[in-house]
Structure 1
């Protein structure tokens, strides 16, 4: 096999494009293989927290500035209003305070806008993007990897990076660990332009429903409704029926929230059941490595899916840049990422279950916790306090492989530590 100094990336989503930009900036020849024929304009938004912004800045200053320009930069005095379905305020979360403490902002942004900025950065750095083609499998020997594609062709490379998402083809070949785990709730997502609620950021709690809303740019609010439901029930409705069903479900909620949902265009709606996977210790097979959702899919409760994918990209590029042997570099990347990712997956799973308030007792407990703590999530600061050198403000004196981790309780400790030793399996 040939292709030393070359990388093939399976998947052109956020993780794949971030990895392409980071690796191309490191001097590697990069080809991204993406099954979609073009980057679609979708309504979903996401939050880039301080760890994601730190990772983007490390890939390139231009990328970090591009993300800030394309999204909404949370100001130091900004708050997120936490309320119940009747509009009663539970707390005002000082989300800008985290930015003051860490010296980096939160940036909510439309997913499409983020992908466009990453695409432009990857191409500018020299990466080749092949759309309309999917990775089907791989073979490898000591010299490299041959990657088979859906059009019948193959690419030879020194390294294959699997950033092909929740149902990764490469992960299936590498781990064979079956389907992901359904978490008991679905998401309906959309956006509204020129809403009179812009630029408010808020969370609304109901029985078995939670809605997260944030400004994504100078005119747009994006929203995500998480709904406790049987697997497949909401995706089977389709966009129009799901939007209508959600509006009906919220009919007696605080009126401005209901109006925001009803003002959403059907074409901007996405409906997706929420899944994750149990953490695993093995992300690497020789010259093949998993990244992003292919490695550690997680519930959206902590908003860390995109952020941890950006972290992965930076750590992977640094490992490959600093090691002569690609296999050793991938193992180093794995060792630096597995434990932190596992802890965030588990915390996101637990936080997501709390957020849903699936029973009346659970809903009252969730609202009471928000009221007393004054914030939505238990461990936001600990999760987002990450820097590419392995530390953060809270771990400024730590060594090269140190990470800032969310707190783990007794239910997590054995699983997280077992993953680090290679003892955890799905």
Structure 2
């Protein structure tokens, strides 16, 4: 009898990389994605990849897909952020030297990054036919020897051998399997993603830059890539954020995109130095998008009663602030680890999810703590696990 498929909830980067691992191992799978296509949620920012993240990705992808992925990555020189005052354009030193240092270099003495959309496209290669669109998973039910996903419309999936919740911070699978122990907090801090043509970045030069307005606390991070900085048709991105209350969110609507988001970004940076203002004045307005900064429990990934037929990966189990660029790298480590354990077992087997969760809980907890510690300084956030608002 053919084996039951691994069911994957969500079509983000951790889910798709896990699918690549299963595809390479010959293990059947199905992906359930709430959106109607990848285009629906195309906005995003460039992800900085650590050596651990790159190693995890390379361990999963076949050589041809890895080369395609590596070609999409930018490789920027420089040992770390050049931290600049948004008003004066002068360099500034970190106020608190006790904060963990951000590790930027990952391979060949370079900072490696990739657009989230490009990563998703590469990871989806060869997996498209196994994706079911407009399928929002709201829970699951266990059967005698398997599991079924339950969808928002009340229907159920075919029976699978394992359900993997990879649908991000609002994961219903995570809440159910952990009996509510997995918690994601709304830090109150917000941000905006945007991009502009490369000439807008010419005054910065090549490198990774952190720009901060100390009066308002608003900051921006950008990576000026050597391959694109001299191409007038290339687009490069920036990510803006600020502590709670610093960036207005009309009607508390975090889904704002386009002109309304662009107008707010331009208003927030109207007094910034002429070296930086072109990033915002010349932005591609339709691509501007708001985002909410969230974080899992700073105390780490919680313990819950293991369920051998259900587990969770990525932001569903350990959401992080953008500080340190750790979140995506930890998510792909989840995919590589779970995929490796499933390959070794020839598919689902008793003990696989327990072994995965035991190892993930260690590096995941460490990553969340570093991200939160950096975020308290950089973003002015503070989480009280007893009283802070949950997402």
Contact 2:261 2:289 in 1 (8 A): no
- Residue correspondence of structure 1 range 184-333 to structure 2 within 5 A: 184-197=188-201, 199-207=206-214, 208-215=217-224, 218=228, 219-230=234-245, 233-234=248-249, 236=253, 238-239=256-257, 240-278=259-297, 279-282=301-304, 284-323=306-345, 326-333=349-356
Residue 54 of structure 2: aligned partner:
53
SS class of match (1:255): coil
Give the secondary structure class of the aligned counterpart of 2:262: helix
* Separation in structure 2 between the aligned mates of residue 96 and residue 302 of structure 1, nearest angstrom: 8
Match of 2:366 in 1: 343
For the Cα contact (< 8 Å) 1:147–1:154, is it kept in 2?
yes
Q: Unpaired runs of 5+ in structure 1?
A: 359-414, 416-426
One of 91, 107, 113 as aligned partner of 2:112: 107
CA contact (8 A) 2:82 2:209 kept: yes
SS of structure 1 residue aligned to 2:159 = strand
Deviation by residue 1:128-159 (Cα, 9 ceiling, x = unmatched) = 11122122321114511122234524221111
> Contact 2:50–2:104 (CA<8 Å) still a contact in 1?
no
Structure having the higher helix fraction is: 1
Q: Residue 88 of structure 1 aligns to a residue in which SS?
A: coil
Once the two structures are superposed, residues 353-381 of structure 1 have per-residue CA deviations (whole angstroms, 9 ceiling, x without a partner) of: 111368xxxxxxxxxxxxxxxxxxxxxxx
1:221 is displaced (CA, Å) by 1.7
Deviation at 1:327, TM superposition (A): 3.2
Instruction: Return the match for 2:135 from 113, 123, 133.
Output: 133
**Distance in 2, Cα, partners of 1:322 & 1:19:** 14
Contact 1:53 1:106 in 2 (8 A): no
3-state SS in 1 of match to 2:158: strand
Q: Larger relative contact order (C-alpha < 8 A, sep ≥ 6)? A: 2
**Is the 8 Å Cα contact of residues 321 and 371 (structure 2) preserved in structure 1?**
yes
Count how many residue pairs are aligned between Structure 1 and Structure 2. Answer: 352
Distance 1:96 1:184 in 2: 27
1:14 has 2:13 as partner: yes
In 2, the alpha carbon distance for the partners of 1:94 and 1:160 equals 34
How many Å apart are 1:352 and its aligned residue? Answer: 0.8
Distance in 2, Cα, partners of 1:83 & 1:139: 52
Instruction: Tell me the CA shift for residue 12 of structure 1.
Output: 0.2
Secondary structure at 1:314 match in 2: helix
TM-score normalised by the chain length of structure 2: 0.81
Residue 3 of structure 1 deviates from its aligned partner by 7.3
TM-score (norm 1): 0.75
Offset at 1:322?
A: 1.9
> For 1:338 and 1:191, how far apart are their aligned partners in 2?
35
Contact in 2 for aligned 1:8/1:157 (Cα 8 Å):
yes
Instruction: Report the Cα distance in structure 2 between the residues aligned to 1:146 and 1:132, rounded to whole angstroms.
Output: 17
* 1:202 Cα offset (Å): 0.8
What is the match of residue 36 of structure 1? 35
Query: 1:43, 1:110 within 8 Å by CA — same for their partners in 2?
Result: yes
